[in-house]
Amino acid sequence: AGDVPEHFKVDLWPEPNVEDNVFGSKAVGEPPFMLAISVYEALRDAVAQARGDGAPVKLTAPATAENVLRALDGR
């Protein structure tokens, strides 16, 4: 990596952080995951509306263009 500084110094806290926070610190990775699920479900809804036959939509992940076309065909 050419953008790493020649001298890179990191200081760590001497003691653990004991302060409580709301629901722990797991919220860093969850919002993008939930947004990804909403996009996937929006694609499924769009395929269902485009087909209009009321049949369940089988959209396999990842939702590539090829998989969306298969779902539109009902395969």
Cα–Cα distance, 65 to 42 (Å, whole number):
14
Cα–Cα distance, 6 to 9 (Å, whole number):
10
The sign one gets for the Cα dihedral 46, 51, 52, 58 is negative
Whether 30 is a known active-site residue: answer yes
Active-site pick, 15, 19, 30, 66: 30
Active site positions, annotated: 30
